[in-house]
Amino acid sequence: MSLDLASLSVGDVVAERSFTLTRDALVRYAGASGDFNPIHYRDDVAVSVGLDGVLAHGMLTMGLAVQPVFDWVGDPALVDDYQVRFTRPVFVHAETGATVDVVAKVGQLGADAATARIDLTVTGNGQTVLGKAQVWVHASA
């Protein structure tokens, strides 16, 4: 697959996706990542430390957010940089779970059309959860 950045304009939406998180998914992620902090699977512990309830792992949210860009570019090696600011946790309800929505738009194009900054709007349950989420990609050869 070839990534042609020359055909893009600032503001173009290049990818959109919604993810559903469940408590089961959090436990599976804990096992895969080794992060067994109980705020990610036990309401009593989360509330005891001042949270509203169980929350998704930040790195899980960050990983979900970039996935639509990986899918769009077709080759993760075309991603040069990815950075976010964590602005709000994603609370995962025991019964209804949580929804993470991602919209990826072109924020900036390199003068030579060889690079692009893709800006991500990431919301969890309707609230922005990642700020200044940006992915730099380069065109394929």
Average pLDDT of span 28-37: 96
Q: Confirm whether 73 is domain-assigned.
A: yes
Average pLDDT of span 23-46: 96
The domain that holds 101 is classified in CATH as 3.10.129.10
> Which domain range does residue 98 map to?
13-138
Average pLDDT of span 12-30: 97
Residue with tokens 């989420």: 133
Q: Which tokens hold the place of 127?
A: 């609230």
Q: Confirm whether 116 is domain-assigned.
A: yes
Q: Confirm whether 90 is domain-assigned.
A: yes
Q: Confirm whether 6 is domain-assigned.
A: no
> pLDDT, tens digit, for every residue of 88-111?
999 999 999 999 999 999 999 998
Q: Confirm whether 8 is domain-assigned.
A: no
Q: Are 133 and 84 in contact (CB under 8 A)?
A: yes
pLDDT at 21: 98
Q: Confirm whether 130 is domain-assigned.
A: yes
Instruction: Classify 138 in phi/psi space as left (phi over 0), alpha (psi -120 to 50) or beta.
Output: beta
Q: Confirm whether 7 is domain-assigned.
A: no
> pLDDT, tens digit, for every residue of 47-74?
999 999 999 999 999 999 999 999 999 9
Q: Are 130 and 90 in contact (CB under 8 A)?
A: no
> pLDDT, tens digit, for every residue of 1-19?
578 899 999 999 999 999 9
Q: Please state the pTM of the whole predicted model.
A: 0.93
Number of domains in the chain: 1
Q: Confirm whether 54 is domain-assigned.
A: yes
pLDDT at 93: 97
Mean pLDDT (the chain) is 95
Q: Which residues pair with 124 in a beta bridge?
A: 100, 127
Instruction: Classify 34 in phi/psi space as left (phi over 0), alpha (psi -120 to 50) or beta.
Output: left
